[in-house]
Each structure stands twice: as structure tokens, then as C-alpha cells.
Amino acid sequence: MTGGTIAPLCAAVLDRLDLAAPGRRLVALSGAPGSGKSTLSVPLAAALTAQGLPATVVPMDGFHLDNALLAERGLLARKGAPESFDLGGFARLCRALRTEEQVIYPQFDRARDLAIAGAGAVDPACRVVIIEGNYLLFDETGWRDLAALWDLSIRLDIPMAELETRLVARWCAHGLDRSAAEARARGNDLANAARIDAARLPADLIWSGQAAAA
């Protein structure tokens, strides 16, 4: 993600965030699996910081339930679906990010396929936290309540065909052959993407890759 690409989104965020009052601002960056949340969030945080607004990224992925618990609940094959996350713990973290000076949070280790407690920290000087995840603007029980926590929300708008291309490439990079990668993407990731698309809440900004639309 080049600076030229991120600049319009950074400008839109700065234009819409109310920074007059003290305290942190929470920016939700929501999108389907493969939409580019991680790729976009880090340079956006860097661009905001360069504008004098210290920012960091907190991914929702740290709240994946452990594989043993998912297996016990019959959800291991659906890892990444809404019910495979610790929604209560994630909501408590988001509220703490607004009110507490330093916040410790879990991070997801993709290489080991598990969440690590206490692996990330938000510094007291941080003014903006970009929270990235699949279900931040999701209109289902429990999840829809998160929307009230966001000072600004951004939805990544990527066509389903492009999502499939990216997801298959991702699973191939993780060592699966083409056939297995396609099955993994279509059987779980794209099913989650369709579920998100069918129950999405309005966003303040929609990002298609080059420009932000209200």
C-alpha cells in the first residue's frame, strides 16, 4: 500500500474524526476475509501518526476461540465465523481502549494458529485506535451493539470474485495445493463473506481501494 494510495483515506478520516474532546478515538475498519484489512490498517495508522495523531492497530483476530474449544463445540471447520470468536471479551477490550490509558490485548499467531494473551499493548499516548475485523459492522445479535463504540467506521468494499482470488492465493501460500485452497476458501471464508454482506450495518466511509465514499 503506497502513500499515494493511503492519502485519500487518511484525509477522509482526519476530516470526519471529532478530535476536540480529550481521549482516544476508535476507528472500525471492517471487511470480509481477504478484503485487505491488515494491509490497509497499518499504513493508515502510520499516516495518521505522521500527521501528528498517534495511532495504532488492534486486530479482532486475537479473540479467536482456541482450537480445542472450537473442536469441543463442533466449530473448528468454521473457524472465522462469528460464533468462533469471544465476542464478550472483544467488546470489553473496545470499551477499555476508550477509557484506560494503557491497554494490553491478545494477538493471533497465524503460524501457530492460536491467540497469545498479553501480546500487544496500546501506549497511553495513542489518540486513535484502528480496530480491524470481519464483524465490526455486523447486524446480528450481540455484534450489532459494537457499532455504538465506533467514532468512525470504514467498510472495505471488494468484489466477491476478487476476494476468492486473494483467499485462494493466501491458502496456497500457507502450503495447501490449489484444489485444497479453493475448497478452504469457498467452504468457509467466502461463506463468511456472504454472511457479512447479507447483514452489514451502514458505514461512515466505504473504501474501494482508491477512494473513500461517504
Sequence ranges of the domains in the chain: 3-159+202-213
Is residue 205 within 8 A of residue 16, CB to CB? The reply is yes
- pLDDT value at position 102? 94
Is residue 121 within 8 A of residue 106, CB to CB? The reply is no
- pLDDT value at position 74? 94
Cell numbers for 57: 492497530
- pLDDT value at position 170? 81
HSE, CB side, 13 Å, CA atoms: give it for residue 92.
Answer: 8
- pLDDT value at position 3? 39
Provide the CATH number for the domain formed by 3-159+202-213 in this structure. 3.40.50.300
27-31, 180-184, 185-189, 210-214, range with the lowest pLDDT: 210-214
- Which pTM was predicted? 0.90
Strand 25-30 with 128-133, pairing? parallel
Strand 205-207 with 212-213, pairing? antiparallel
- pLDDT tens-place string over residues 38-83: 889 999 999 999 999 999 999 999 999 999 999 999 999 889 999 9
Cell numbers for 117: 494473551
